[in-house]
A and B are shown apart, each in its own frame.
Chain A
Amino acid sequence: MGKQYKLIHCTVNGRAREVMVDVRASLTDLLRNDFRLTSVKKGCEVGECGACNVIIDGECFNSCIYLAVWADGKDILTLEGLEGPGGEISDIQQAFIDEAAVQCGFCTPGAIMSAVEILNEGRLLSDEEIRIRMSGHLCRCTGYENIFRAVKKTMLKRLEARQREQGTGNREQE
C-alpha cells in the first residue's frame, strides 16, 4: 500500500486552496496538519463523537470519515472561519459563552458547527428536533443542557430578528 497523492482545489474558510493530498488522508488530517486548523478535534476518528465536524457546501459532516480527496471543489467551513476579520465572533459562539455551554472545550468546535448548520436553515425547530439534530455530538462535561440552551436561544433570537426585519407581527411561540 504505497503513498499516492492527488492535487485538489477547495475553498477553506473563504480562501481558495490548492494542495497535494495523500489519498488515504481524512479531511481531519488535511485541515489539522496542512492548514493547522486545530479546532477540528479528534475524539474517535471513526465518526462516533462529532468533535471533528465541519461544514462542507453548507452541510455538516464528520471530517474524520470524509476523505481529503473528496474535498476537491468543495467549500469548507471550520470553526476558525466563523470569526470576523477583526476577531468578532458569531452569535452562536457568543451564546456558547453566555450560556456556560463550554467546559473542557474539546467537543465545542464540532458542536458549534452542527449548530451553525441548524441555524442557517432559518426555521423554528422543536426541542425534540434540536435534540435529534445535536445528538451526533458526544460531550462528557455539560450533560448537553447548556449547549441545548445556547442553540435554542440563538435560533429564537435569529427568528425574532428576521421577523422584525420583515415587519411581521406574528411571533412564533415555543
Chain B
Amino acid sequence: MYAGQRVRRVDAFDKVTGRARYTDDLCDRGAYVARILHATVANGRVVSIDTSEAEKVPGVIRILTCFDLKEKHYFPTAGHPWSTDPSHQDVADRLILTDRVRFYGDDVAAVVAEDEVAAAQALKLIRVEYEAYPFVLDVQKAMADGAPQLHEKYPNNILKHTQIRLGDYEKAIREPGLTKVEGWYETPVVQHCHIENFICYAEAEGDRIKVVTSTQIPHIVRRVVGQALGIDWGRVRVIKPYVGGGFGNKQDILYEPLCAWLSLQVGGHLVKLDVPREETFVCNRTRHSIRNHIVSWVRPDGTYAARKLESFSDQGAYASHGHSICAKGAGAFPQLYPCDNVEVDAYTVFTNKPVAGAMRGYGIPQAMWAVECHTEDVCASIGADPVAFRRKNLMPVGYVDGFSKNEMYFDSFNQCLDKAMAAIDYEGKYREYQNQTGDVRRGIGVAVFWYNTAVWPISLESSSCRMVLNQDGSFQVQLAETEIGQGADTAFAQMAADVVGVPLEKVHVVSCQDTDVTPFGTSAYASRQTYIAGFSIRQTGLLLKERILDYAHKLTRMPVFNLDIVDGNIVRTTDGRVLMSLAALAEEALYSLTDSRHIAAESTYQIKSNAYSFGCTIAEVEVDIPLCKVKLLNIVNCHDAGKLINPALAEAQVHGGMSMGIGFGMSEKLMFDEKTGRPLNNNLLDYKLPTMLDHPRLVAEFVENPEPTSAFGTKGLGEPPACSPAPAIRNAILHATGVGVKTAPANPHNLFRAFTEAGLIHDERQVPPCTT
C-alpha cells in the first residue's frame, strides 16, 4: 500500500534541479511582449486615449485600447463549474478592456511590442483622458443611499444579500438571565503572493487559439476564453505547465482572454503577457475584507440562547466569485457552534477597490477571525475557560447539516484540541501566564475551524480519469485535477498504484495538462482534489484492472475471479503463484498478431457527497506592550483531514497554511490611499509577507479518522491550515495583555490603537486614524 506512506514527491527531482518548466520557461523567445495600461482613477470613464507618441517607440507592434474592442462579450471570471441553469451562472461583468473604470488599476489599454523595454516605454507615453466620478472604498459607505454606484443592476452596490433564520431570535433573547456579548471583527485586504506571478502566452493554431497559462483551472479557462472572444469553446486550447503557486488567485480567469485577443489582433502571432508583481497585487484578485458583527446571548450555564451575525464582504469592483465567499463564511456560523435561535445576514458589496476572489480558505479565514475572536470575548465576559467553553458548545458528534448532508462522524474537535494542547503544553502555560504585569508579557490562545471539502451540492462535483497501459506494464494517469504545488500528482500516483496493484514507479501522472487531451474536470479549488479525484481514480483503476485481467484470462486460461494484480504481476490468488508480469502481458497485448489491444480505461465519477474537515490552532506569544510588537513563540495546528494519503506532504502543506495564517494575523494588509483609491504597498517590500525569520518552528499534528464517504478515507486539507492561526494568535495576545484586537492584522499599528484605548499605553498625541 502506498496510500498512507511518506513517499517522495513525483516532481521533486525536477524541481530541485531546475528541470521543471513553468510557463515562462516554455515560451518561445520570438514571442511579442504585452503590457497593460491600468487606470489611474478609482471610478470614472475613459474619454479618450492618445497613442500617437507611444506608437513611435521602436519595437512597438500595436497598441490596442478599450475603444478597439468592437464586439463586447461580457464574461464571468470565477473558477466555478459552468451552470446550465442561467440563474446559477456567475455574474458576467468583465470586458477584455474597459472604458468604464471601476478601480484604480482597471484595464484600459494594452501594448504589444517586440520586447519588454519597448512595451514599458510605450506604456509611459500613452495619454488617457478620464472623466473621474466620485468613488467609495468602504462597504458601509458603499451601501448608503447616494453612494457612487459601480454597476447599474445592483442598487446600493449590493451584489447579493442572503439570510439564514433558525428558531426565533427575538423571542429567545427575552429569556431571563442572559449575558449579551457583541463585537465587530474585521479582516484586511490581503493577496495570495504566489511566487510565480500570473503569466500566460497565446498564439493561433489554424482557426483555433492556444493559451499556455499559469492556472489552477484549465478547462474553465477554455470555456471563459471562448465566452470572452465569442467563439466556440472547442476552438480554444489551454495548456497548464508547472505552476508556481496559486492559492485561489489562479482559480480565476485573469488575463487569458486579453492575451488571446491580443494575439488575434496581431495576426495570431505569439504574444506573452507576464504580469509584474506590482500588478499581480492589484489587478489579479485579493482576499475579501470582511466586516462581521456578532451578537451572542449567553446563559449562565455557558450555553448559547441566541446568536446573530451580520457579515459585510468587500467585493471590490467586479463580481468574480461574488457572494459565494461571504456565504460560505456565514454558513459556517450556525454550524460550528450550533444554537437553536440564529439570525445571519450576509452582504457582498461592490467598492472601488481591486477585485476580490478566491483565496485559500474561501471566506472561512475571515469567518474564523470573527467567530473565534468573539468566542474568546464571550469567555472573557462570562469568565469561562476558553477550551472548556468550546468543548461544551462546538458541533457535537452526530451533527448533520441538512443541506450538504455532511456529518460529524467522530469526536474530531476534542481529539484535535487534546493533541494540540499536549503538543504545546497548553494547560501549564495557560496557568503560568495568568495575571501578568510588566511591559513584556506572554500568552497562549486557541482557535478552532470548520471547513467544507468540495462544493457539492452547491455546484457540480465530478472527476474524470484516464489510464493508459504502456508496453512495460507502467501506465499514465491523466486527471483534470491540477498540480499547483500541493503535491496532488504524488497523492494521485499513490492511490492509482494501490488500486491497480503496481509499484509506484510504474505510475506516470501527466502533470502538464492540455484541454485537448486531459479529461474534463474543474480542477484545483475547495480543497477538493484528493477527495474528489480519489473517486475517479478508484473507479478507473478498477476498470483498467478488469481489462487487464480479462486479457490475462485469455493468456493464462485461468478464471478472472482467481486472478489479481499484485506488485506489477498477474497472480493466481488460489495459490499465490505469479503467472506472468504485467509488463509481459502489456507487451503481448499491444503486439499480438491474433488479439492486439491497447489497454486503457477512462471514466467519470460524479460525486454527490462532501465532507467536513476540522481542526484547531494553539499559539503562544510574547507581547512587548510599549513597542506594540508581538513575537510568535510557538504554534501548533492539529487537523482531522481523514486518512492522510501522504503524511509528509500533508505536514508540509499544513506548514504553508499556518504561515499564510500567521501573515494574515500579524502583518499582511494591502493599503489604499483614501484620497485617490491608489494602492499604497503593492510590492513585496512594503507588503509584509512573513519570512523565515518571522516564524517559530511550525508544528503540524493530525487525527486520522477515516472519512466514511471518501474513496480513500481522506478529505480536504489544502485550505484548512490557513483558517485558524490568526484568531489563535489574537487570542494569545488577549491572554497576555487583556486586550483583544478586533481588526486584523495584530500589527503594531492596530495594537497601538487597541493598547491606547485600553489604557495599557499612554500617548498624548491623537490616535492615528485607521487606514482602509
Interface residues of A, Cβ cutoff 8 Å to B: 1, 24, 32-33, 37-39, 41-46, 48-49, 51, 78-80, 82-83, 89, 93-94, 96-98, 100-109, 112, 130-132, 134-148
| Neighbouring B residues of A96 by C-beta, 8 Å | 12, 16
Contacts known (A44-B277, A142-B652, A146-B652); A49 close to B659, Cβ less than 8 A: no
| Neighbouring B residues of A1 by C-beta, 8 Å | 121
Contacts known (A104-B245, A138-B691); A37 close to B18, Cβ less than 8 A: yes
Task: Please tell me if B196 contacts chain A, counting CB pairs below 8 Å.
Answer: yes
| Contact of B693 with A135 in the complex, beta carbons under 8 Å | yes
In the docked arrangement, what's the CA distance between A78 and B18, Å? 9
| Contact of A41 with B487 in the complex, beta carbons under 8 Å | no
In the docked arrangement, what's the CA distance between A94 and B12, Å? 9
* Contact stretch, chosen from B20-28, B62-70, B104-112, B134-142: B20-28
Contacts known (A83-B17, A98-B8); A103 close to B683, Cβ less than 8 A: no
Contacts known (A106-B244, A138-B691, A143-B695); A44 close to B16, Cβ less than 8 A: no
Least Cβ–Cβ distance between A154 and chain B, in angstroms: 12
| Contact of A139 with B195 in the complex, beta carbons under 8 Å | yes
| Contact of B21 with A38 in the complex, beta carbons under 8 Å | yes
What are the nearest 8 A-B pairs in CB distance? A39-B18, A104-B485, A106-B244, A143-B659, A105-B15, A143-B655, A48-B684, A38-B25
| Neighbouring A residues of B698 by C-beta, 8 Å | 143, 145
Task: Please tell me if B192 contacts chain A, counting CB pairs below 8 Å.
Answer: yes
| Contact of A144 with B484 in the complex, beta carbons under 8 Å | no
Interface centre among B17, B485, B657, B694 (most CB of A within 10 A): B17
Contact of B197 among A39, A43, A102 (CB under 8 A): A43
Contacts known (A96-B16, A106-B245, A140-B193); A134 close to B277, Cβ less than 8 A: no
Least Cβ–Cβ distance between B10 and chain A, in angstroms: 11
Q: Count how many chain B residues have C-beta atoms less than 8 Å from C-beta atoms of the other chain.
A: 60
| Contact of A141 with B25 in the complex, beta carbons under 8 Å | no
| Contact of A108 with B21 in the complex, beta carbons under 8 Å | no
Given contacts A100-B648, A144-B691, 14 further A-B contacts (CB under 8 A): A33-B29, A43-B195, A51-B195, A83-B17, A94-B16, A96-B12, A100-B8, A103-B656, A105-B11, A134-B692, A141-B245, A142-B655, A143-B695, A144-B692
A–B complex contacts, Cβ < 8 Å, 8 sampled: A46-B685, A103-B656, A104-B242, A109-B18, A137-B692, A141-B652, A143-B695, A147-B692
Interface centre among B24, B277, B660 (most CB of A within 10 A): B277
| Contact of A104 with B196 in the complex, beta carbons under 8 Å | yes
| Neighbouring B residues of A146 by C-beta, 8 Å | 652, 655
Task: Considering the complex, give the chain A residue whose CB is closest to the CB of B6.
Answer: A100
| Contact of B193 with A145 in the complex, beta carbons under 8 Å | no
| Contact of B16 with A112 in the complex, beta carbons under 8 Å | yes
Task: Considering the complex, give the chain A residue whose CB is closest to the CB of B26.
Answer: A38
Interface residues of B, Cβ cutoff 8 Å to A: 6, 8-9, 11-18, 20-22, 24-25, 29, 117, 121, 192-197, 242-245, 247, 274, 276-277, 484-487, 648-649, 651-653, 655-660, 662, 683-685, 689, 691-695, 697-698
Least Cβ–Cβ distance between A88 and chain B, in angstroms: 10
| Contact of A97 with B276 in the complex, beta carbons under 8 Å | no
In the docked arrangement, what's the CA distance between A46 and B589, Å? 56
Contact of A103 among B486, B689, B694 (CB under 8 A): B486
| Contact of B276 with A140 in the complex, beta carbons under 8 Å | no
| Neighbouring A residues of B17 by C-beta, 8 Å | 39, 79-80, 82-83, 89, 93
In the docked arrangement, what's the CA distance between A92 and B228, Å? 46
| Neighbouring A residues of B194 by C-beta, 8 Å | 104, 106, 140
Task: Considering the complex, give the chain A residue whose CB is closest to the CB of B635.
Answer: A143
Interface centre among A38, A96, A139, A141 (most CB of B within 10 A): A141
| Neighbouring A residues of B653 by C-beta, 8 Å | 103, 141
| Neighbouring B residues of A51 by C-beta, 8 Å | 195
Task: Considering the complex, give the chain B residue whose CB is closest to the CB of A3.
Answer: B117
In the docked arrangement, what's the CA distance between A93 and B14, Å? 10
In the docked arrangement, what's the CA distance between A147 and B12, Å? 13
Contacts known (A38-B25, A45-B276, A104-B244); A144 close to B695, Cβ less than 8 A: yes
Task: Considering the complex, give the chain B residue whose CB is closest to the CB of A151.
Answer: B692
Contact of A140 among B22, B117, B660, B683 (CB under 8 A): B660
Least Cβ–Cβ distance between B676 and chain A, in angstroms: 23
